[in-house]
Amino acid sequence: MSESKSSWQQHIDKVTEKGLLAKQLYVVLTTPVAGLDAVRANLAEHLAYQLELERNNIMFAAGPFADDAAQEWQGEGMVIIRADSLAEAHQIAEADPMHKTGARKFRVRPWLLNEGSITIKVTYSDGGRSVI
């Protein structure tokens, strides 16, 4: 049995027709290249870059992953960003000091925000909030 394929744009069109949000975002999956020492050495600059993305309304959300047992941090993380294209999302990810120095490698995946809700704007780093 063969499964038919659908282009990404066709999928976006279908969910939009159904009334879902279909907000295009980009997920940056980031993993250490050679252990945690290089990650820790670049953490301050990485966090400063993340805060800049947050201030400029580029970052939607970000944070680290635990291992599958929720016992350890192995240096992996995820950043969800707003960008006008996959190419722009790659440029934003490449500019992260963690990636520029080679401490981490990354993969960018297009993602649609379709379902969910939010009633306030919260900036995670400083606890700022406002009613939207």
Q: For every one of its 132 residues, what pLDDT tens digit does the chain have, with 9 covering 90 and above?
A: 557 788 999 999 999 999 999 999 999 999 999 899 999 999 999 999 999 999 999 999 999 999 999 999 999 999 999 999 999 999 999 999 999 999 999 999 999 999 988 777 778 888 888 756
DSSP characters over the chain: -PPPP--HHHHHHHHHHTT---EEEEEEEEEESS-HHHHHHTHHHHHHHHHHHHHTT-EEEEEEEE-TTSS-EEEEEEEEE--SSHHHHHHHHHTSHHHHTTSEEEEEEEEEE-S---SEEEETTTTEEEE-
**Count of structural domains, the chain:** 1
Assess if residue 37 is contained within a domain. Answer: yes
The whole-number pLDDT of residue 42 equals 94
Assess if residue 10 is contained within a domain. Answer: no
The whole-number pLDDT of residue 44 equals 96
The whole-number pLDDT of residue 130 equals 74
The whole-number pLDDT of residue 131 equals 54
Assess if residue 111 is contained within a domain. Answer: yes
Distance CA 104, CA 17 (A): 39
| CATH code of the domain in which 103 resides | 3.30.70.1060
Assess if residue 16 is contained within a domain. Answer: no
Q: What is the pLDDT of residues 21-54, one digit of tens each?
A: 999 999 999 999 989 999 999 999 999 999 999 9
Assess if residue 125 is contained within a domain. Answer: yes
Assess if residue 8 is contained within a domain. Answer: no
Residue 85, domain extent: 22-131
Assess if residue 97 is contained within a domain. Answer: yes
The residues that bridge with 105 in the sheet, in sequence order, are: 31
The answer to whether 98 and 104 have CB atoms below 8 angstroms apart is yes
The answer to whether 113 and 125 have CB atoms below 8 angstroms apart is no
The whole-number pLDDT of residue 64 equals 95
Assess if residue 67 is contained within a domain. Answer: yes
Both structure tokens of 7 = 């282009």
The whole-number pLDDT of residue 1 equals 53
Distance CA 79, CA 91 (A): 13
